Structure 1
Amino acid sequence: MDLVEATQRYYRAVDAGDTQGVVDWFAPDAVYHRPGYEPMRGRAELQAFYSGTRVIASGSHRVDQLIVDGPSVAVRGVFTGVLRDGTQVTVGFCDFVDYDEAGLAAERRTYFDTPAV
């Protein structure tokens, strides 16, 4: 399985506003840890987050570094976008993703360089 492509598929989907594509990238019982939120567990909670709870209205991710180690991927990059309140943001991020045997994201942890999004 190509975890570089799988990871890039997530960023393409989220930047395109493809909520279903984003949710489908996660395993059915996935857990997503994100600063400022309780851990999101399962596709129903992820669907609720990406379709409404998420403070980001639109934007794009630039991946500067992507490292694969077995079933795990580490990503460093920059997000530039607009929040739902109209605020424009540019924020550095790191994602750590553990994939399951089917190539779906089983656990994801996101960190930001400023508490903005």
Structure 2
Amino acid sequence: MYRRIDEGDFAGFAELFDENAVYHRPGGPPLAGRDAIESYYREKRTIADGTHTLARVLLSDGAVAVDGTFSGHLADGREQAHRFAEIFELAPGGLFTRRDSFLFVCDF
């Protein structure tokens, strides 16, 4: 999933979500629906490029928890680096129904 984001494959990334999925992210209202999630990444995301590096991925009872780091550039060219943690809920077929993101801004 993160590889798709890092490579700019936002359609492929959005396909991992249920049509009615909800994405709760820092600094903005929840994004409701697969189309809204893809539209956000294509049109409103303030990050221009970067790489996610995963430290842990935990799977338990229809949920996935991930933590790692991100390093890249904002749309205005400034460098951006932060730690993140995310929790995903899964539908029986494996698509994401919910994503909750948490960011920890830090110096690397």
- TM (normalized to structure 1)? 0.87
Tell whether 2:7 aligns with 1:16. Answer: yes
Between the aligned partners of 2:57 and 2:34, the Cα distance in structure 1 is: 25
Aligned residue for 1:108, secondary structure, equals strand
Between the aligned partners of 1:46 and 1:90, the Cα distance in structure 2 is: 22
Summarize the alignment of residues 4-83 of structure 1 with structure 2, pairs less than 5 Å apart: 10-83=1-74
Partner of 2:93: 102
Deviation beyond 3 Å, 4+ runs, structure 1: none
Cα offset for 1:102? 1.1
Partner of 1:111: 102
Aligned residue for 2:94, secondary structure, equals coil
2:72·2:81 contact (CA, 8 Å) conserved in 1? yes
Q: What RMSD, in angstroms, separates the aligned Cα atoms of the two structures?
A: 1.1
One-letter amino acid of the counterpart of residue 29, structure 1: N
2:64·2:89 contact (CA, 8 Å) conserved in 1? yes
Between the aligned partners of 1:59 and 1:43, the Cα distance in structure 2 is: 22
Between the aligned partners of 2:35 and 2:88, the Cα distance in structure 1 is: 19
2:52·2:71 contact (CA, 8 Å) conserved in 1? yes
Higher strand share: 2
Between the aligned partners of 1:92 and 1:11, the Cα distance in structure 2 is: 14
Q: Point out where structure 1 has 5 or more consecutive residues left out of the alignment.
A: 1-9
Aligned residue for 2:77, secondary structure, equals coil
Higher helix share: 1
One-letter amino acid of the counterpart of residue 96, structure 1: I
